[in-house]
Amino acid sequence: MPVNISPLSSEHLLPVAGVSLGIAEAGIKTSHRKDLLVIVLNEGAQVAGVFTQNRFCAAPVVVAKSHLADSAIRALVVNTGNANAGTGESGMQHARTTCSVLAELLHCGSEQVLPFSTGVIMEPLPVKKVVGGLPVAVANLRPNNWFDAAQAIMTTDIVPKGVSKQIELNDQTVTITGIAKGSGMIRPNMATMLGFIATDAGVDPVLLQDITRYAADRSFNCITVDGDTSTNDAVMLIATGCAGHVAINKRNSAEFERLRDAITEVAIILAQMIVRDGEGATKFITVQVEAGRNTEECQQVAYAVAHSPLVKTAFFASDPNLGRILAAIGYAGVNDLDVDGITLYLGDVLVVENGGRASSYREEDGQFVMNQPEITVKVVLNRGTASSTVWTCDFSYDYVKINSDYRS
């Protein structure tokens, strides 16, 4: 079961002026489940995004990047049950067809539609089912459909993921609402995970892209479930400009920083929800690396620990076999690392100092921490002032079961 995620309901997700959402049951993979989402934006809305760096990126990613670069976006369409990745030219055509059909229904240009897909890779997209569901999704467009939208983008997720936040800017209430999906194939590198965040603030398009990158680098790019970067990862940020007189057009302003930080907070909550709902997860683990020479080496060490199957299975078993963490630190790729200078903490328990087991460490203290559902691993490199944090989960029996049965 997901680790410490409060149940989500429609009351938790606030509508964002200028955004309407519609859902359909298109039967893309299975019947009688929400699997198609249409998001329609008011004219003048700005959209920014970051996408997977996987070179085998999906057809909808290619099309979405092209449309986003050249057009004023009016709609997004998301299907689950099929990733439309590894599908060659036919997959590209199916993505374009989806955009064209939705554009006709909305009376806009096909290049003003962004497509997104998630699900099984290397299987043809059942495009007839997708386009067949579009009229239903358009017919039930509502501003308060965020909860249903969070359900409609799920694949192996156990729970829908969403959050809303409001802040005051220029004496005006600004709303931020976001949803995300993801549970496995999670090690985003953006720049099978999708995130959609919207605000009713007005934001200059260049600054909106800056905020998107800033937020992604501090949230979705700091999580891992299994170390696999999906072919379909994307995070989109929408600014409708419908919140009165709120217009962010200066980078060096208090309003820009407040909005950027609030959006980043929403992104962090969504990213952590993905880890908490990692396939088969029973533990939520924070890996903090401090006192490094630079951020890059801190992240190298953090991901080495967070990716290690041996570390992750030890956490699942609540086994304080902490030498596995030392091994991961050692192979992280920091070639001039002085291991004698490292200290390692499990929670508040000092485990390693001076290159070996701390004299004060007792296994029963480590066992107590390992039994908890949320655990912090802190690695202090003692060679600088940089730091990095990564969030991950354990590997359980269910992770293997879920992924061995994924296409069933």
CATH code where residue 348 lies:
3.10.20.340
* Burial class (CB within 10 angstroms; exposed 0-12, middle 13-18, buried 19+) of 92: middle
In this structure, are 68 and 158 located in the same domain?
yes
Is residue 34 over pLDDT 90? yes
DSSP helix/strand/coil, 218: coil
Question: Does the global pTM surpass 0.85?
Answer: yes
pLDDT tens, residue by residue, 109-147: 999 999 999 998 999 999 999 999 999 999 999 999 999
Dist CA 91 CA 314 (whole Å): 41
Domain termination residue (choose one: 247, 276, 305): 276
Query: What is the pLDDT, as a whole number, of residue 388?
Result: 97
Q: What is the mean pLDDT of residues 8-35?
A: 96
Could you give the maximum distance between any two Cα atoms of the chain, in Å?
A: 71
In this structure, are 301 and 206 located in the same domain?
no
In this structure, are 268 and 379 located in the same domain?
no
Grade residue 254 by pLDDT with cuts at 50, 70 and 90.
very high
Give the CATH number for residue 242.
3.60.70.12
Of these residues, 87, 118, 156, 192, which one is catalytic?
192
Q: Does the active-site annotation cover 175?
A: no
In this structure, are 394 and 272 located in the same domain?
no
Q: Which of 16, 196, 37, 232 is nearest to 119 (CA)?
A: 232
The boundaries of the domain holding residue 336 are: 284-404
In this structure, are 204 and 234 located in the same domain?
yes
Edge-to-edge strand ranges of the sheet holding 36-41: 19-24, 36-41, 75-82, 113-120
Is residue 13 over pLDDT 80? yes
Kind and range of the H or E element at 117? Answer: strand 113-120
Residue 1 lies in a domain: no
In this structure, are 59 and 108 located in the same domain?
yes
Q: Cβ contacts of residue 328 below 8 Å, gap of 6+?
A: 301, 304, 305, 307, 308, 310, 311
Dist CA 121 CA 30 (whole Å): 16
In this structure, are 267 and 326 located in the same domain?
no
In this structure, are 98 and 211 located in the same domain?
yes
For residues 111, 113, 119, 121, the Cα torsion angle rounded to the nearest 10 degrees is: 0
In this structure, are 195 and 265 located in the same domain?
yes
Q: Which of 389, 386, 383 is nearest to 335 (CA)?
A: 383
In this structure, are 266 and 289 located in the same domain?
no
Q: What is the mean pLDDT of residues 275-302?
A: 95
Cβ(156)–Cβ(185) below 8 Å: no
Dist CA 347 CA 222 (whole Å): 19
Q: Cβ contacts of residue 381 below 8 Å, gap of 6+?
A: 289, 290, 291, 292, 293, 297, 298, 301, 334, 337, 341, 342
